Structure 1
Amino acid sequence: MKREHDGKGNSTTQQDKCPACGSKKRVFERLSEEAVELGAAPPGFKMGYQATQQIVGDPEWQAKQPMGGKVPVGGTVLDICYDCHALYAPVVHTGKAVKAPTPKKLVVPGQG
């Protein structure tokens, strides 16, 4: 497992093998390679089973924060072990996001 910190409170952890069986093969990573071979994706393309990004905290409390306030965020990329089928997170990100203003009215394309 490899963990990198940027000195600003953000970190990325990468796990190159399955924690259950030690295999380095992943289902969706292999499918990504196949997509490249078939011309369905550009060279170097990698896709996990699922990717998530989440703001952590109570939305009502966050609404009271001033613009520029920071909130903790986390993100994961999930994949499935090719050999034992364990679901695990080869990539985990944690850090802080800066609160930005939200638009009062969204403009629908063509109705601007």
Structure 2
Amino acid sequence: METEYTSMIEYTSVKECAAEAARVARGVDAARLPEPSGCGDWDVRTLVNHWVLYSAHGLEHRALRKQLPDELTARDFTADTDWAEAYAAQLERAVAAWSDPRVWEGEIDLGFA
């Protein structure tokens, strides 16, 4: 019972964070993608691609207990003009993958070294 309650609280947080991430993505100006990001050597494009990969695709794959495929880790998501909308849709799939309380059980490898 406690696990189900905890997973519902966590799921609600994931859902709220995903909605905010989608909102922020829609505000990224394409003209700024080649500019420095403030994160080391990464430009905004590199930072956004990392963000999209791990916050949306990675989130879904962790719920499904699957590794991220190479084609995703090498992809430039920002190459698509509608990347922010595609990101929002992927976030919805990721959030949906975490909606089952059983997904929250056991060890979850977040894939971050």
Q: TM-score range by the shorter chain?
A: under 0.3
Q: Which has the larger radius of gyration?
A: 1
The alignment's TM-score, normalised by the length of structure 2, stands at 0.21
The alignment's TM-score, normalised by the length of structure 1, stands at 0.21
* Bigger fraction of residues in helix: 2
